[in-house]
Amino acid sequence: MTPPFRVEHVGSFVRPEALLNAARARKAGQIDEAEFRSVQDAAIHDIVRFQESLGLPSVTDGEFRRRSWSAGFIDAVDGFGLRDGTLSFRDETKVIGIAASPYAKAPLKRRRRIVADDYRFLKSVVKKGVPKVTIAAPDVMHYFLGPKAFDAYPEREAFFADLAQIYRDEISELAAEGCTYLQLDDTAFAYLCDPKIREACRKNGDDPEKLPRIYAQTINRALEGRPAGMTITMHTCRGNFKSAWVAQGGYESVAEAMFSAAVDAFFMEFDSARAGTFEPLRALPKGKTVVLGLVTTKTGEMESRDELKKRIDEAAKFVPLENLCLSPQCGFSSTHHGNALTMDEQWRKLELVVGVAQDVWGSK
């Protein structure tokens, strides 16, 4: 089986209560690292069985070893600090909060393997399906703070050069472990769809017209010399924290540049009107795949099976059906807090994705 598959998922899952309790106990010094890791191992074993029971062809560790989707990268690389960002999460009624963002306070150096050890354990417990690893995309380390993201470097290019080397080293070690499926999680492209955020970029001293192309080039540098036989995809996200988001706006302003990234497929959010229409998919290069994120992970409300099929048909007006797949729009728990839905609702959402994919394509 070669990914991406007709039915996909983004990667993170709602943390079980035992794992949350263990994380609190570890932070309080009530259990040691070995005890905490044992709880993580058990939770990953269970979430792998959960995915396999649904017949999902790709399997992740639920991101259960991370505080958040990007924390695994930041924790493994020396040189990062955190400072308040400028972007706020919001829902339909209010602003939820401001996200802290990484910056290079010292030259970046990979202190330990970022996800390769996680992959080794995941591979050891997967019985069916292809183990998938997720990692924050390199441009994420710049986007949130712009010119304030690289204090330790004289200019942006030197910062990007060190970042790219870190990714190349990690990808090489993933390949040595046998990894064949890697997903880059990216917020920069989708955030730059938002006119208000584009204006904020200008005020920060960046050019939102040029940034998407610069970010695609940064990703391509990180993937130079990529190993044969490894599928690399990119997931675009408009924010996912306790069911809140950051950005809105269609992909028109970033599609051409984003599609120049040297990945095999693009996981794209299309779960609400905030994501715009399918028309920007016209720019997708031949041979690339789009995974349509049509099922929201922000609420437990179930989508209509017929409506999902109708939306796939709409997308197929711009991309051949054989180049499309289906998934939820994001992970169910991009941070340890999780989104506003239950484990049962998470299960039913994924069952829906599996069923619709089988109806449309006849296979997974």
Domain CATH code at residue 166: 3.20.20.210
Rounded CA separation 237/338 (Å): 16
CA pseudo-torsion sign 184, 76, 339, 190: negative
Q: Does residue 80 sit within a domain?
A: yes
- Specify if 224 maps to a domain: yes
Residue 71 within any structural domain of the chain: yes
Identify whether 275 is part of a domain.
Answer: yes
Residue 316 lies in a domain: yes
| Cα distances (Å, whole numbers) of residue 331 to 8, 85, 105, 206, 298 | 11, 22, 30, 29, 9
- Phi–psi pair at 13, nearest 5 degrees: -130, 155
C-alpha of 174 from chain center: 17
Does residue 25 lie in a domain region? no
Of 244, 282, 259, 287, nearest to 95 by C-alpha is 244
Q: Which residues contact 258 (CB under 8 A, 6 or more apart)?
A: 189, 212, 216, 236, 251, 266
- How far, CA to CA in Å, does 177 sit from each of 122, 147, 250? 11, 36, 38
**In the chain, count of helices (H) and strands (E)?**
12, 10
* Overall domain count for the chain: 1
Q: Amino acid letter at 246? A: V
Residue 119 belongs to some domain of the structure: yes
Q: Under a CB-based contact definition with an 8 Å cutoff, are residues 187 and 246 in contact? A: yes
- 346: domain range? 66-361
pLDDT at residue 98, as a whole number: 59
Residue 52 domain-assigned (yes or no): no
How high is the pLDDT of residue 301?
Answer: 93
Q: For the segment 17-63, what is each residue's pLDDT rounded down to a tens digit?
A: 999 999 999 999 999 999 999 999 999 999 999 999 999 999 999 99
- Evaluate whether 133 touches 179 at the Cβ level (below 8 Å): yes
CA angle in degrees (0–180, nearest 5) for 316-326-228: 100
Strands 95-110 and 77-90: antiparallel
> Running along the chain, 364 residues long, what does each successive block of 10 average in pLDDT?
94 95 96 97 98 97 92 92 69 58 94 96 97 96 91 97 97 98 96 91 90 97 96 92 81 98 98 95 97 95 97 98 97 84 94 97 80
CA distances from 182 to 137, 171, 231, 233, 296 (A): 11, 9, 6, 6, 22
